[in-house]
Amino acid sequence: MVDTHNLMANINQPLGMDSDPPFHETYKTLFANSIIKSSPSNDDPGDTVEERELPLIDLSRLGLGGELEREGCKKEIARAAHEWGFFQVINHGISRDILETMREEQVKVFKQPFHNKFRCFSAGSYRWGTPTATSLRQLSWSEAFHIPMTDISTPGGFDTTLSSPMEQFATKVASLAQELAEILAEKLGHKSTFFQENCLPSTCYLRLNRYPPCPIALEMFGLMPHTDSDFLTILHQDQVGGLRLVKDGKWIAVKPNPEALIINIGDLFQAWSNLFYKSVQHCVVTNPSKERFSAAYFLCPSYETVIESCSKPSVYRKFSFREYRQQVQEDVQKYGYKVGLPRFLV
């Protein structure tokens, strides 16, 4: 059960620094109602779980090694996408200097007063919490900036000191995402230009995340369990930790690696690959004393793009990305969570 005394004490605390979103004030009804609700089951991602390292792949083997080395690297990428749905890469072409500078500037942006972030950035780019939440377990204790790739060079509201490293990071990860998508398609026997033709700067985006310290961390998610509604995601995170995912039916904690970028398969790639590559549930758990920062790139197609399995018989019926997004939004509004690909089974 929720600790009533501690919960009420934390609710009544000051909201903290002006830079933090007003979680307690905005969601006070959820906090009050949670007092009489039970805690989640033992298989909850917020429980104490085993920490494991993701499969580690050295991308320098794609360019420096011989043909056998290149093919071996490609097979490892496909195997990790099939068995884990997640893997990490090193020697990815993005310098430590770019990553560290971007994080430093990212911190400064998030430390602005909340009202500045809420009012000064373009509509829809700054998001926090979960407007559709009907319980604490559906509330994400985080804030984020969603930035279309076409706006990276002139992101409204951002200082130019962030724009430069962000643009360098975005350019590199966009190229890396296309390269990885082509490799994953190739290992299924398809030398396809599908991703280059349909996943364009106008359809992909970057998301800068901050997960503030949470006084009731055991009861809250930084980002509730979900799968990504894209082809693949590239993530750079700090060393605080908190990322968790499902492996072999159990939740595990991902051990941070300062040299690596994390890659995960999205729903669209699972459908396109006819269930060969796995889009797995993952989440971010909160920390009672430390804030966490990350930056994620999402490889997405246009809304008109039709997703169809690359082999037969198909597990999923074909659908447009627009149809998929609309179904996800309807389910979230109705149930408080995403249903996803099971809606599109043949």
Distance separating alpha carbons of residues 21 and 271, to the nearest angstrom: 36
Of 96, 103, 292, 322, which residue is the catalytic one?
Answer: 292
Q: Give the residue carrying structure tokens 């200097």.
A: 97
| C-alpha 184 chain-centroid distance | 20
Distance separating alpha carbons of residues 173 and 265, to the nearest angstrom: 15
Residue 316 DSSP label: B
Neighbour tally for 200: CB within 10 Å: 16
Paired tokens of 113: 């007063």
Kindly give, in sequence order, each residue whose CB lies less than 8 Å from that of residue 123, ignoring residues fewer than 6 positions away.
none
Do 269 and 300 contact (CB within 8 A), yes or no? no
Q: Is 17 helix (H, G, I), strand (E, B) or coil?
A: coil
Question: Is 127 among the residues known to form the active site?
Answer: no
Kindly give, in sequence order, each residue whose CB lies less than 8 Å from that of residue 206, ignoring residues fewer than 6 positions away.
146, 147, 149, 152, 166, 169, 170, 295, 296, 297, 298
Q: Is the dihedral of CA 153, 157, 160, 161 positive or negative?
A: negative
| C-alpha 101 chain-centroid distance | 21
Catalytic residue ranges: 292
